[in-house]
């Protein structure tokens, strides 16, 4: 019988030589982890608002990185992200040097593995964090998290606790504030020594978003930007809630962008550069 050949690491997308900005093994177990998805936020809009200082609160935590999403709409992008495949750098990366914060342990046999990556048990890092003692909490926004349909339960089911309320819906203008009020009440129930992983899907930028700009009658790139400014004006409240609990590692990114007629394309679920280019940053509070 033929000996099973060793597959070259670069074919497997290895990360042996990646230069890490954070050691996840110094984060997991000692920090709460907050994963904030600004659903549908385009990189170009995030960058422009950052440069104009229209998002002063988000700007405080570093510049957006230009990255590529692992999917072109919410469902595939989140399925991949929860499995540890977060958005990847938009610039070419030397072989073996792509940072991966979370890697499934059972895929690492006989492979060089970066010491900074958290190797998790299970099929998603959500499950992996629960196995090491985290309370995993999902607060939904868009319909893929609404728990009202079979499909709307698939992603929330990854978490020990998952929540959605009609007041968190895309068409509710103050949906983010409603989510924040809910999160404040929930977090208040946990001891500060209980580690928490909270995923929050903010859906204000997802259509419809025209009501964030005075007088606008339909969605546009300007109302997309106005929705981002709305989020920025409240996001410090979220960070304050976590800061009061202790140290928190934050991943903030988008899952895909959305077209407003560029090259004839509208919305997302299509692989236009505007859709798969997303903003990303991580930082410690």
Residues lying near Zn ion in the complex (CB under 5 A): 39, 74, 255
Decide whether 128 or 257 has the Cβ nearer to Zn ion: 257
Helices (H), the chain: 43-51, 56-59, 74-82, 125-131, 151-154, 175-187, 221-243, 273-276
- Structure tokens given for 90: 């938009």
Alpha-carbon span 168 to 27, nearest angstrom = 30
Decide whether 72 or 248 has the Cβ nearer to Zn ion: 72
How many Cα atoms occupy the beta-carbon half-sphere of 27 within 13 Å? 25
In whole angstroms, the minimum distance from the beta carbon of 35 to Zn ion comes to 14
Contact 197, 137 (CB under 8 A): yes
In whole angstroms, the minimum distance from the beta carbon of 246 to Zn ion comes to 30
In whole angstroms, the minimum distance from the beta carbon of 131 to Zn ion comes to 27
Decide whether 27 or 36 has the Cβ nearer to Zn ion: 36
Decide whether 69 or 196 has the Cβ nearer to Zn ion: 69
Task: Scan for tokens 């007088």, then name that residue.
Answer: 215
Contact 270, 224 (CB under 8 A): no
Decide whether 76 or 122 has the Cβ nearer to Zn ion: 76
Contact 101, 28 (CB under 8 A): no
- Structure tokens given for 82: 């929860």
C-alpha 132, offset from chain centre: 21
DSSP state of 208: P
In whole angstroms, the minimum distance from the beta carbon of 137 to Zn ion comes to 19
Alpha-carbon span 192 to 174, nearest angstrom = 28
In whole angstroms, the minimum distance from the beta carbon of 112 to Zn ion comes to 34
Burial (0-12, 13-18, 19+ Cβ within 10 Å), 228: buried
Decide whether 127 or 255 has the Cβ nearer to Zn ion: 255
In whole angstroms, the minimum distance from the beta carbon of 78 to Zn ion comes to 7
In whole angstroms, the minimum distance from the beta carbon of 32 to Zn ion comes to 24
Q: Which residue is nearest to Zn ion (CB)?
A: 74
Decide whether 101 or 278 has the Cβ nearer to Zn ion: 278
In whole angstroms, the minimum distance from the beta carbon of 141 to Zn ion comes to 9
Decide whether 14 or 143 has the Cβ nearer to Zn ion: 143
- Write the CA distances from 136 to 12, 44, 67, 120, 172, integer angstroms: 29, 32, 26, 14, 26
């Amino acid at each position: 019988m033929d000996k099973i050949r060793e597959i070259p690491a670069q074919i497997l997308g290895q990360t042996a030589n990646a230069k890490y900005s954070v050691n996840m093994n110094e984060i997991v177990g000692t920090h709460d982890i907050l994963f904030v998805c600004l659903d549908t936020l385009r990189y170009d809009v995030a960058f422009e608002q950052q440069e104009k200082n229209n998002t002063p609160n988000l700007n405080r935590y570093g510049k957006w990185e230009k990255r590529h999403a692992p999917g072109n709409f919410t469902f595939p992008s989140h399925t991949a992200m929860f499995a540890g495949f977060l958005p990847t750098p938009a610039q070419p990366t030397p072989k073996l040097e792509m940072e991966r914060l979370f890697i499934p342990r059972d895929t690492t046999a006989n492979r060089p593995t970066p010491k900074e990556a958290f190797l998790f048990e299970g099929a998603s890092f959500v499950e992996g964090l629960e196995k090491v003692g985290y309370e995993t909490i999902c607060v939904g926004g868009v319909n893929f998290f609404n728990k009202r349909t079979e499909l709307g339960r698939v992603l929330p089911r990854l978490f020990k606790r998952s929540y959605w309320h009609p007041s968190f819906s895309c068409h509710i203008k103050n949906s983010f504030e409603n989510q924040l009020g809910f999160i404040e009440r929930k977090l208040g129930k946990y001891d500060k020594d209980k580690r928490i992983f909270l995923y929050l899907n903010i859906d204000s930028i997802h259509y419809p978003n025209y009501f964030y700009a005075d007088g606008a009658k339909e969605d546009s790139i300007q109302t997309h930007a106005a929705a981002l400014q709305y989020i920025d004006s409240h996001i410090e409240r979220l960070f304050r809630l976590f800061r009061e609990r202790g140290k928190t590692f934050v991943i903030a990114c988008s899952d895909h962008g959305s077209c407003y007629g560029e090259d004839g394309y509208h919305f997302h679920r299509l692989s236009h550069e505007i859709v798969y280019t997303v903003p990303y940053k991580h930082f410690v509070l």
